[in-house]
Amino acid sequence: LDLGGVDYLSSAGLLAIESVSARLARTGGTLVLCDIPEPVRVTLDLAGLDPGLRIAPSREDARQMLRRP
């Protein structure tokens, strides 16, 4: 999920990311967030989601993470 154009993440957005990540994990999938602006990264960190999410610096790095077993 490329967050490069996001400058604000509401509680609804946090819940959506957490929900999608959990659903994908239950079915063997993976959510990778990439290109996260600093204010959004701080929000993820303050919400306690940062450690449980896979995060890549760029879209290409996210693709690489998804290709690895």
C-beta of residue 24 within 8 angstroms of C-beta of residue 55: no
Interatomic CA distance for residues 62 and 31, integer angstroms:
9
> Hey, what are 20's tokens?
């999608």
- What does the pLDDT look like over 9-66, one tens digit per residue? 999 999 999 999 999 999 999 999 999 999 999 999 999 987 889 999 999 999 999 9
Interatomic CA distance for residues 7 and 37, integer angstroms:
7
Q: State pTM to two decimals.
A: 0.88
Report whether pLDDT(5) > 90.
yes
